[in-house]
């Protein structure tokens, strides 16, 4: 079963440049701030230190998520898909490791927009519980492209952030692109350490992740199921025999059982398995916490972790801002 995890989560963090009403550094009246952020001069007149409007952020991201799989349908050698509910699966564990780049722009003092490009490796472990017990592991590379927007507000060091982003992932072995959306909220506090932009910020929040529910793809049977034992073939055939003669699943089940038995007998299969399934996170919402150290107005170093629920993640990033 292929994975969809890189997809989303890859953008689980994405905290925008937060305006702060701490005392701003002195600026020359001849400073040219440019067009962005729009209304920026009015915000600066009120004491907000907006920082530079453009940013580029390279980052590393890791995520592990628990996924519930249902409505499994299988096909053999590009044949028609059939109901494979005679196969019972447990909760899947999907992992992703990725590196990405996130250019962003502060359009308004309270609104930033960004794009995300990520490339990385995904791995999904799906426990098969019946008719026999084993763990199927599928690994692949994936590329993710996303866009998002961040609403932000700060007052005397305290700030709040709301972020929404949508992503599309191209995962090898999947028949279709995989989409995902994430909505997150953060509240925190930033403390200026000197007058040159050195600052330390920390926050907590929550994030909700929704991934595309329908997935299809194709794998080789030998990549999913290692060389089987006779007990595996017997368990599969017993499951098929338990189905009623009129059950439409019986013949496809017998075909699969015969393929596995032939494999046990030494006839290595050249069999492709097509599949479609429905998946959903075990928990949509989880908690998160993060910290950022700003060396000056240009360089920022950030880390964020999510926890609780069925998803854990870690993000490490460096951002450079300019005008």
**Low-confidence winner among 41-50, 92-101, 299-308 (lowest mean pLDDT):** 41-50
Cα of first residue to Cα of last residue in the chain, in angstroms, is: 46
Tokens 């013949």 identify what position?
A: 251
Of the pLDDT bands very low, low, confident and very high (cuts 50, 70, 90), residue 18 is very low
What are the CA-CA distances from residue 304 to residues 116, 207, 289, 310, 318 (Å)? 17, 12, 6, 17, 12
Structure tokens at 32: 């040219």
pTM (predicted TM-score) = 0.80
**Low-confidence winner among 17-26, 60-69, 109-118 (lowest mean pLDDT):** 17-26
In this prediction, residues 123-130 reach a mean pLDDT of: 88
Cα–Cα distance between 46 and 17 in angstroms, integer? 18
Of residues 161 and 5, which shows the higher confidence score? Answer: 161
Which alpha helices (H) appear in 19-73, and where do they start and end? 40-45
How many other β-carbons are positioned within 10 Å of the β-carbon of residue 225? 20
Tokens 């995904």 identify what position?
A: 122
Residues of the chain by 3-state class (helix, strand, coil), percent to 5: 15, 55, 30
Of the pLDDT bands very low, low, confident and very high (cuts 50, 70, 90), residue 21 is very low
pLDDT at 313 over 50: yes
pLDDT number for residue 36: 86
Identify any residues that bridge with 62 across adjacent strands, giving them in sequence order.
97, 314
179 contacts 167 by C-beta, under 8 angstroms: yes
How many other β-carbons are positioned within 10 Å of the β-carbon of residue 28? 6
In this prediction, residues 89-106 reach a mean pLDDT of: 93
pLDDT number for residue 13: 35
Of residues 168 and 61, which shows the higher confidence score? Answer: 61
Kindly compute the dihedral angle of the four CA atoms of residues 309, 312, 316, 317, in this order, to the nearest 10 degrees.
-50
Closest CA to 136 of 123, 149, 145: 123
pLDDT number for residue 176: 54
Average predicted confidence (pLDDT) for the chain: 84
In this prediction, residues 197-210 reach a mean pLDDT of: 93
Domain limits, the chain:
5-322
pLDDT at 9 over 50: no
Of residues 230 and 50, which shows the higher confidence score? Answer: 230
pLDDT number for residue 17: 46
**Low-confidence winner among 25-29, 138-142, 192-196, 265-269 (lowest mean pLDDT):** 25-29
Which alpha helices (H) appear in the chain, and where do they start and end? 5-9, 40-45, 221-224, 230-241, 250-264
pLDDT number for residue 225: 78
Question: Phi and psi dihedrals of 106, rounded to 5?
Answer: -85, 105
């Amino acid at each position: 079963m292929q994975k969809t995890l890189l997809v989303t989560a890859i953008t689980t963090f994405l905290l925008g440049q937060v305006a702060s009403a701490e005392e701003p550094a002195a600026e020359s009246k001849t400073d040219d701030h440019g067009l962005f952020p729009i209304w920026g001069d009015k915000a600066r007149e009120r004491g907000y230190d907006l920082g530079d409007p453009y940013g580029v952020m390279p980052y590393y991201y890791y995520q592990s998520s628990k996924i519930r799989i249902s409505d499994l349908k299988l096909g053999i050698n590009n044949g028609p898909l059939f109901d494979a509910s005679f196969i019972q699966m447990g909760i899947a564990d999907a992992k992703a490791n990725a590196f990405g780049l996130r250019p962003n722009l502060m359009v308004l003092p309270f609104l930033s927009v960004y794009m995300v490009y990520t490339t990385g490796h995904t791995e999904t472990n799906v426990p098969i519980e019946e008719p026999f017990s084993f763990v199927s592991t599928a690994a692949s590379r994936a590329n993710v492209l996303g866009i998002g927007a961040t609403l932000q507000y700060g007052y005397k060091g305290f700030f709040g952030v709301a972020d929404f982003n949508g992503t599309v992932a191209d995962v090898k072995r999947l028949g279709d692109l995989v989409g995902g959306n994430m909505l997150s909220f953060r509240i925190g506090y930033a403390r200026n350490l000197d007058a040159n932009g050195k600052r330390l910020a920390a926050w907590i929040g929550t994030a909700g992740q929704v991934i595309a529910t329908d997935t299809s793809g194709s794998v080789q049977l030998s990549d999913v199921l290692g060389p089987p034992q006779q007990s595996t073939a017997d368990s599969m055939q017993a499951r098929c025999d338990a189905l009623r003669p009129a059950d439409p699943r019986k013949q496809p089940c017998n075909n699969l059982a015969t393929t596995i038995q032939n494999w046990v007998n030494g006839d290595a299969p050249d069999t492709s398995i097509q599949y479609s399934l429905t998946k959903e996170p075990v928990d949509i919402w989880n908690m998160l916490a993060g910290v950022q150290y700003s060396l000056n107005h240009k360089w920022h170093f950030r880390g964020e972790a999510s926890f609780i629920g069925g998803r854990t993640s870690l993000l490490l990033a460096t951002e450079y801002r300019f005008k």
